Chain A
Amino acid sequence: MQGDLTLQELDRDGAIHEAFDGVNSRASFLRNAVIGSGALLGVLAAPRESDAASPSDNAILNFALTLEYLQAAFYTETERAHAIGAELARVPRQLGSVERAHVFALRKVLGRAAVKRPSFDFKGVTEDQVKFLKTAVAFEDLGAAAYKGQATRVDSPALLAAAVAIHSVEARHAAWMRYLAGFTPAGRAFDEPKKELEVRRIVASTHFIAARPRTTRRRKPRFTG
């Protein structure tokens, strides 16, 4: 299979909930975002400024951090669930440990400007081997394309060097997941970047970023006392 797989194609068997009907339509995206998750808008909103980097670089870093949160949570939940076959067990273990390291590094450089970790609902994808693998391909392809899409916008050469260092790791992950899923790992001479809005649309349409369940209330208890 060639190397131009899309998330839409990966969702043919429902691997990604509410997949990509009309994601190319901005109106549809906005409608989905409002109906699907109020929390999402907050998560993907423009970040606060910090002292460490330019506002533009901070925005890019927080954009990257949100994607890293998503990937890290996905592999971590899969590793904890122990629901995929033994032959793939090392995949979430290895990739999860790397994505958590990316989260750690981005949070460290952003400091107080870092966006908060969102709440996730992977809707059972982490407990199904086929869906897990297809989603992993999609996430890694998306991550690599997103880093590539932002590279030319980074002001700081040092941050660009760091972003490129992470980007090549995401590309390796993408090739590995593609190989395991039976797709061509590297079938193209040139890879296309994805713009920020396109990446946000795709992430929003998965509905994997969910509203945090409300477990606190301001009201008098009626426990037995």
Chain B
Amino acid sequence: MHAALGRSSETAEGLAAPSLPASPEPALDVPTPVPLEAGGATTWAPVRRAVFARTRPSRKTNVVVRLDTRTPEDTANIVVVLGRARDAAGRVWLHVRLPVLPNDRTGWVPRDALGGYGVVHTRLVVDLEQLTATLLRGRRPVFQARIGVGKPAWPTPKGQFYIRNRLTTYASSFYGPLAFGTSARSPTLTDWPDGGFIGIHGTSQPELLPGRVSHGCIRMRNEDILELGRRMPIGTPVTIR
């Protein structure tokens, strides 16, 4: 609208003096368009129906593992999405990281076997030499703690993993007040109940930290795991190096 048309004291060319009241200012302060947060995003999705993960994006290729909809902890089973492709019939397949032995395996599943996507912008880096766990948001460290890791006989596995669940409110001081389940599995304790998954949790023996003290799990002081619990969402990728 021409500016003159909104002012009652002026007469626009060719028009009588305006008699309408001025319009109210909009109540919303709409910002400029908001671009996506650059880089560092990881996508994950729950397994909606039991499905075979395969070596390539095709039903005709070998099975890597069967993915169920639930974890041993009875939470939704999630996978981290690494990429996508279409098969000859135009069907979308997703390349996903798998919670299986040997560690660091990936496979392909049909898109329709997974549910809606979740996105995280965090990444946890576990340094087995420095005995530290560092949470990054983008490239910026937002949390760091000294940790306990596996003894030489039961080493914490190296590789690329992800956080897949969170357990709370249990009666076990051994694990501290909070435990995260990861997709990493002990390469040595293969007969451990529920598959020998590596957890990240608190401890009843903080005096042992930092050190190589566990059966493969990553331990930290209870105040540290609680702080990590406030900052680290499910689906966060985990690098153990």
Contact = CB atoms under 8 A, between A and B. Distances in A.
A119 B45 CA distance: 12
B234 interface: yes
Contacts of B179: 221, 223
Contact of A220 (B24, B175, B181, B189): B175
A76 B37 CA distance: 10
Interface in B84-102: 84, 92
Interface string A96-116: 111011101110110000000
Interface in A95-142: 96-98, 100-102, 104-106, 108-109, 119-124, 127-128
B117 A223 contact: no
A122 B43 CA distance: 14
A216 interface: yes
Given A217-B73, A217-B75, A225 B175 contact: yes
A3 to B, nearest CB: 26
A221 B75 contact: no
A123 B186 contact: no
A101 B217 contact: no
B172 A166 contact: no
Nearest to A57: B27
Interface in B77-120: 78, 84, 92, 111-112, 115-119
A24 interface: no
Interface stretch (B11-19, B59-67, B134-142, B197-205): B197-205
A222 B194 contact: yes
Contact of B168 (A83, A156, A216): A216
A224 B216 contact: yes
A77 interface: yes
Interface of B: 23-36, 41, 43, 46, 72-76, 78, 84, 92, 111-112, 115-119, 150, 154, 164-172, 174-175, 179, 181, 186, 189, 192-194, 196-199, 201, 214-217, 234
A41 interface: no
Contacts, number: 163
Contacts of B32: 101
A137 to B, nearest CB: 20
Contacts of B175: 220-221, 223, 225
Nearest to B30: A105
Given A100-B34, A161-B27, A214-B75, A221 B199 contact: yes
